[in-house]
Amino acid sequence: MHFILRVVAPVACLSLLSTLAFTADRQSLRARQGDKQIEIFAGGKLVTAYKYSDAQKYPYFWPLNGPTSEKSVTTESTEPYPHHHSLFFGCDKVNGGNYWQDTNERGQILSQGPKIVEAKGDRVVITDECRWKQPGKDAVMADHRRITVSAPSATLRFIDFEITLEPLVDIRIEKTNHSLFSARMVPELSVKAGGTLVNAEGNLAEKGTFGVASPWCDYTGTRDGVREGLAIFQHPDNRWYPAKWFTRDYGFFSPTPMYWPEGDHLALPKGEKVTLRYRVVIHTETAEIARIGALFGQYAAK
């Protein structure tokens, strides 16, 4: 699929003005190695931490602090479904294993030790290799991650996530809603609490976004008088783009191709690598005020 962005002069001017504003307002970043986590700061304030303990089901990002409130817009764990950990990547029903929920004996995605490639300046870059395995068994898949965090303005935080899946054996993934890149908002920002879930077509809430193919979705809400949110972009080069979304009014959302497979399962032959790219935008104000649609256009053009 080819994504074509047509730009007319007024939009180009707005884009140029936005770029200039970002340049003037860009935040300086730094990284710090902690105990089984890498903490990332923008303008001296904590943005997020990449957590990767061997006791976890999978590595995940938490917190994801709002630029204004400095409080996480995602939850590390909450009911219902406490296995949703903030911002994460995983999958159920992979060769009979479960790399999403359930006990660690059913499967884990184990970091081999992330590396900080860039630790200061206008971005922080982390790389990591993970192994998908069950205890006492050989790994069935490896993944290679490159994570870039930036802060183009005082009200925006970007997390660019690139992951290459490398099947070490022939992989069979059965139909499952528990798959790939996902986020779980704090309950206070959910639709159930008065928040807004919207996709690129302007459809709202679980009713309007569930099962709908869309380049992006954005989830915002108001807490302590501050409106903040998080958007997930799918890159147009991704396989399955644009994937359909699995969304919930309690705060979960994910572009989830495995729930709508072509046929009764998905096959990934040994050695056939698949690279997926996503951008997470943590922002102040609504999707409209934060210009999420325009930000996606800039991202898709890269």
pLDDT tens per residue, range 60-119: 999 999 999 999 999 999 988 999 999 999 999 999 999 999 999 999 999 999 999 999
Q: Which pTM value belongs to this model?
A: 0.91
**Dihedral in degrees, nearest 10, Cα atoms 156, 253, 130, 27:** 0
> What pLDDT, in 10s, does the model give residues 135-183?
999 999 999 999 999 999 999 999 999 999 999 999 999 999 999 999 9
CB 176 within 8 A of CB 156: no
- Amino acid (one-letter) located at 68: T
Given a cut of 90, is residue 3 above it in pLDDT?
no
CB 171 within 8 A of CB 264: no
pLDDT at 264: 82
Distances (CA, A) of 29 to 42, 92, 118, 232, 277: 4, 35, 10, 21, 22
Domain 9-300 CATH assignment equals 2.70.98:
yes
Given a cut of 80, is residue 10 above it in pLDDT?
no
CA-closest candidate to residue 286, choices 192, 196, 206, 225: 196
pLDDT at 283: 98
CA-closest candidate to residue 145, choices 127, 159, 133: 127
